Structures are given as C-alpha cells and as structure tokens.
Amino acid sequence: MNLYTTLQKLCTCPSVSGREESIRELLRELISSFVDEVSVDNLGNLIARKKAKNAKAKKVMLCAHMDEIGFLVTFIEDNGMIRVAPVGGISLSAAAYSEVVSEKRVAGVIVPESKTKPKEYAIDKFYVDIGAKDRKSAERKVSIGDFFVVRGGVRRLAGNRICGRPLDDRIGCAILLSLAERLASVETACDIYYVFSVQEEVGCRGALPAAFGISPDVSLCFDVTGTGDTPGADPMACALGKGAAVKIKDSSVICHEEVVATLCSLAETHKIPYQREILLYGGTDTAPMQLSGSGSRAGALSIPCRYIHSAVETCDLGDAEACVSLAEQFVLTLK
C-alpha cells in the first residue's frame, strides 16, 4: 500500500471529533481484506482484529486517531454569516482566511471580523462566509450543529516531504493500513487489534474505552510529534527525515522502558532509521492505553511533523515508512 496514495484518500474525508462516520467507513473499506473481523464499539472506535491461531494468545493494540480539529456551527446571522465554536486545539492565526468545507460538502471561508488585529483574535470575532445573501439562504445549506473543517488534502514537496492536512493523524491511520497489509498473510503469535480511535483531539476519549474493552498486554500509538528543525523552534531532538520517533515521554505519559528499549534495539538491528522523542507538551492516545483497565506495556512511534494544526502540516514519507517497518519488526518479536 502506497502511503502517499492512501493519504490522498484519507485527507479529503472531513471528520471532526465526534463526527467520524465518513472516515470510519472509508477505513473499514480499506482494512477489511487484511483482518479477520471488524467492529465498531459504542463510542465509535473502529476495531479491526487479526487473530492468532492460539486462542489464549496475548493481545497487542495498535492505535491511531481518525478525528480532526474543526468548528461547530452555533448561530446563523441575519446577513447569512455563520458563527462557530472550536472543536479541539484550534490556532486562529493558522485558520484565518482559510477555505473550509462542511460535513455536507458546503464550501466557505473562515475569517476574522473587519479591522480585527491578530493579537485580538478570539473565536467570537470569527465567522464562516459561505456566500449566502441572508439567513434564509444560509439555512438551506447549513444547520446549527453542522461542522466545518479547513479543507483537507495533501501535496508533494521536495524529496520525500509532503504537506497538507489533516496529517494529524491521517498519517498514523495510513501507517496502520500499511502495517495491516504487510502482516495480513503472516502468522503472528499475538492477536493484533488495529484501532482507529475517535475524539483524540478533545481529550483522548476514544482510546480509553477501546483499550478497556480489548485489555491489551502491549500497545503502540501512532501519532505526529513536534520538531526542533525550523527557524526559531524550541530545542527538540526530533527532525524531519531522521526516521521513526520512538517516544520516551510527553506531558501525559512515560512509555514502558522495555518497549522503548526493544524498539530502539530492533531499529539498530534492522538498520531502520529512528530517533528518540521527548515531547515537553501535549499528549496522545498512548496515555489512556497505558492506564486503561489493568494497564498495558505502552509505547509510541511518532511521525515528526512541522506546523501541527495548520493547513500546511509537513512530514517526511521516509519517517512514516520507517514507522511501518519498525512496528512490523516489533509485532513479529512478540511471543
């Protein structure tokens, strides 16, 4: 499975946190032929299971979130302009003057009120303009509670670099699909649960019940991480093009020491490029997977990403390929 081609499909499917139906059905279609069963839990997580022959096999959970940040419609003004509320960690500076699209594929632009200076940006000073001449015409296309997202898509840059949105975390989803394809015909010692989680962007909500229901012995999260390789960036060891980032900790989790050591050792043995990640802010689904139920030995493979939560998130496909290869070797070592 070609990662770039897969991302082209995934990134043009708008699915804000809590409204993941569209991306879930696309992912179900793409992974079904590589696994033994596919289900959806009560919260909406997509769970694809590849069974081991041993009925008492241990369980490994591999997780990437399928939701994205966006906006919910809260009010439609008499002039047809649409007021919205943020869903997830929105940067208004990054979102200003962007093209947006609704779940009904209604196009618009999100802009600040006239004469609003960047230092004055606040969500109550922003609105979506869909070109409607008044409230009545706007209501024919948009309802209170509809969502908008900055229009998605992915483009190639120089070399292996790509940019677009929402690479956070459709690139993690693409990695899971590629991994599932590689392992489809391999007899593994563990049951593998590929989990595409919901509502990560609003508090890592989906992975918690998914992990509780699966009760994995080992778990790996796949998500983007920051970098220190741009002008003015805070010091950070991660950079684009240096391989899979093996997470050691972030602000929500300290990864299992044995999992970290195993991933690093496998990378060196199989000559897979990797780097060590310590993220001083934010968190991922790693934390709820680690703590759910009786807990699991949790780790994470991150994809370095510049300009996270913008319309031009930038990654290196070589780093994503390294994550696929390293995760494959990790799963094959589990007994």
> Which domains are seen in the chain, by residue range?
3-68+166-333 (3.40.630.10), 70-150 (2.40.30.40)
The catalytically annotated residue of 68, 200, 313, 321 is 200
pTM, two decimal places: 0.95
Nearest to 167 by CA among 322, 313, 307, 30: 313
With cut-offs at 50, 70 and 90, classify the pLDDT of residue 175. very high
Instruction: With a cut of 90, say whether residue 181 has pLDDT above it.
Output: yes
Pairing of strands 297-304, 274-278: unpaired
Let me know if 200 is a catalytic residue: yes
Q: Where are the beta strands (DSSP E) in 226-272?
A: 244-249
CB atoms within 10 A of CB 85: 14
pLDDT attached to residue 299: 97
CA 329 to chain centre: 22
pLDDT attached to residue 153: 96
Query: For residue range 85-100, what is the model confidence (pLDDT) as tens digits?
Result: 999 999 999 999 999 9
Please give the order of strands across the beta sheet that includes 313-316.
Answer: 153-156, 161-165, 313-316
* Type and span of the H or E element at 81: none
